[in-house]
């Protein structure tokens, strides 16, 4: 049986309604917010009255997440997403520091999200924060800061630590020198040394049939310098303080982020809970939302959202996949 790869269609499922609005950042930029929700007037059962805040990674967009997020309509009432500045639907907004992304999302959660839910949505029984790659790293910190607002945390290949195998010495050495001797690090940007073939094995993106995430990434030296500030000991302390149930999806063939580090932090730093879940994909590359396992990820995630402490009886597996639970 041939491998079936997810195909991003131009529009989401007809069962969703898409809308957009914008908000102003603290440095006076306008960021677009995308909302997918069940049609107004439709009866929403309490068992499906969940709202998810989804944070894409660098170069990505909520539009690339459709293969996994679209099937969640049976267990989630609305999905709200803010693409990172400089990418996706917020292309053109300058980005120089990881703290800028965090500040954008903190402002959104504190001042915009509660009002939007109160005015535009049915009051949810549960609110979930989710993210992929750098968006997963941001979701981890935001889940810790806003423990009362988010009951569950969903992390797809979070950028806890880079996989240094993708960074050759011919790239590392000259850029370390630039970091050391460049005074205005915001004024100098560099291309990261990997392309689409490092994040997905989906031929539709490799041959250009579908628009791929924006890689290779072109980032300021200042941004690369600040990424390290969000990893290491500070991240360990943040994970250790999380009170929510966590769903972690990792790709064993991840060439961008360190899968062993994700798994190590999951088992060593999270407070033990039966409801934590680790989904390990043996053949997947970094952007798991584009990979052939996407439909199964959606199936497992949808089950976990409703029954976090039980195992799913899998009906279809596009690839041999292993799953571990953390008890």
pLDDT tens for each residue of 289-298: 999 888 889 9
Among 41-45, 217-221, 240-244, 256-260, the range scoring the smallest mean pLDDT is 41-45
| Structural domain includes residue 238 | yes
Query: Rounded to whole angstroms, how far apart are CA atoms 121 and 114?
Result: 10
Residue carrying structure tokens 């992390």: 155
| Structural domain includes residue 250 | yes
**What CATH number is given to the structural domain containing 121?**
3.40.50.1820
> How many helices and strands (H and E) does the chain possess?
10, 11
The total of structural domains in the chain comes to 1
Q: Is 246 exposed, middle or buried (0-12, 13-18, 19+ CB in 10 A)?
A: buried
| Structural domain includes residue 177 | no
| Structural domain includes residue 211 | no
Written as six digits, the tokens of 4 are: 């079936």
3-state DSSP call for residue 93? coil
Residue carrying structure tokens 């580090």: 261
- Domain containing 25: what range? 17-164+227-326
- Residue 96 CB: number of other CB atoms within 10 A? 18
pLDDT tens for each residue of 183-205: 999 999 999 999 999 999 999 88
At 211 the pLDDT is 82
| Structural domain includes residue 195 | no
| Structural domain includes residue 140 | yes
Give the β-pairing of 322-326 and 276-281: antiparallel
Written as six digits, the tokens of 107 are: 């402002």
At 48 the pLDDT is 82
At 51 the pLDDT is 95
Written as six digits, the tokens of 232 are: 């290491």
pLDDT tens for each residue of 117-147: 999 888 899 999 999 999 999 999 999 999 9
Work out the pLDDT band at 70, boundaries 50, 70, 90: confident
Mean pLDDT of 159-182: 92
Instruction: Quote the pTM value.
Output: 0.91
- Residue 161 CB: number of other CB atoms within 10 A? 19
3-state DSSP call for residue 257? strand
| Structural domain includes residue 92 | yes
Radius of gyration of the CA atoms of the chain, in A = 19
| Structural domain includes residue 39 | yes
């Amino acid at each position: 049986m041939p491998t079936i790869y997810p195909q991003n269609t131009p529009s989401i499922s007809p069962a969703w309604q898409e809308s957009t609005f914008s908000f102003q950042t603290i440095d006076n930029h306008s960021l677009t917010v995308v909302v997918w929700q069940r049609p107004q007037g439709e009866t929403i059962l309490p068992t499906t009255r969940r709202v998810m805040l989804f944070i894409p990674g660098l170069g990505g967009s909520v539009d690339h997440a459709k293969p996994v997020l679209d099937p969640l309509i049976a267990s989630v009432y609305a999905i709200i997403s803010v693409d990172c500045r400089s990418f996706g639907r917020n292309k053109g907004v300058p980005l120089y520091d990881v703290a800028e992304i965090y500040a954008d999302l903190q402002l959104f959660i504190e001042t915009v999200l509660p009002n939007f839910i109160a005015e535009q949505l049915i009051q949810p029984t549960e609110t979930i924060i989710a993210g992929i790659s750098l968006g997963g790293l941001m979701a981890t910190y935001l889940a810790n800061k806003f423990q009362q607002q988010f009951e569950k945390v969903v992390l797809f290949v979070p950028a806890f630590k880079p996989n240094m195998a993708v960074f050759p010495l011919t790239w590392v050495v000259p850029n370390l020198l630039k970091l050391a001797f460049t005074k205005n690090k915001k004024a100098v940007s560099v291309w990261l040394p990997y392309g689409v073939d490092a994040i997905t094995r989906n031929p539709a993106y490799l041959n250009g049939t579908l628009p791929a995430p924006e890689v290779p990434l072109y980032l300021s030296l200042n941004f690369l310098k600040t990424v390290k500030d969000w990893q290491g000991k500070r991240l360990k302390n943040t994970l250790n303080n999380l009170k929510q149930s966590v769903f972690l999806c990792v790709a064993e063939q991840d060439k961008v982020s360190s899968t062993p580090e994700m798994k190590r932090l999951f088992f060593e730093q999270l407070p033990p809970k039966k409801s934590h879940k680790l989904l390990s994909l043996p053949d997947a590359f970094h952007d798991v939302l584009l990979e052939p396992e996407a439909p199964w990820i959606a199936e497992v995630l949808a089950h976990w959202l409703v029954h976090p402490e039980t195992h799913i009886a899998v009906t279809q597996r596009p690839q041999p996949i292993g799953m571990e639970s953390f008890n």
